[in-house]
Amino acid sequence: MKKTERKSSTINDTCVKEWQIQAALVNWCRMLGILIISIPNAAKRSFAMSMREKSTGLTAGASDLFMPISNSKYHGYFIELKRPGERPRGNQYIFMEKVRTQGYKAEYFDDWVKAKESIEEYLKDIYTAA
């Protein structure tokens, strides 16, 4: 690949931050009244603060968001968000697999619209059954 070529399909993809994807998805959920909870795992902490947080439940690899709404197949939905083209780290894959074995849906997305569409699909049977 030449230095001037981009790996990304659009110029804007290289500028999008993970928090912007998360904010867009959370704002969309809030507009529709969908309960979604942030799990703030990414903050930089001192060693002492890190130990305190771990002792009170901080879990390495936990997904960014949790939707505590069950449907006909799952107990709830864990969502990991990434910048365009990025993938979860090893401990994030492990976390997603653990919660899947407990009956939760867990996926990752690098695009908020794809995450939104997945949430719509997840909630489809709840709203069509009413």
Domain 11-129: CATH class, spelled out: alpha beta
**Is residue 57 scored above 50 in pLDDT?**
yes
Instruction: Tell me the pLDDT of the chain averaged across its residues.
Output: 85
> Residue 13 carries which DSSP code?
G
91 contact partners, CB below 8 Å, separation of at least 6? 60, 61
Distance CA 21, CA 12 (A): 12
> pLDDT tens digit string along 14-51?
688 999 999 999 999 999 999 999 998 766 667 777 77
For residue 117, what are its two tokens? Answer: 């569409």
**Is residue 81 scored above 60 in pLDDT?**
yes
Of 42 and 120, the one with more pLDDT: 120
CA 50 to chain centre: 22
Q: Spell out the domain ranges in the chain.
A: 11-129
Average pLDDT over residues 89-99: 97
Fill in the amino acid letter for 24.
A
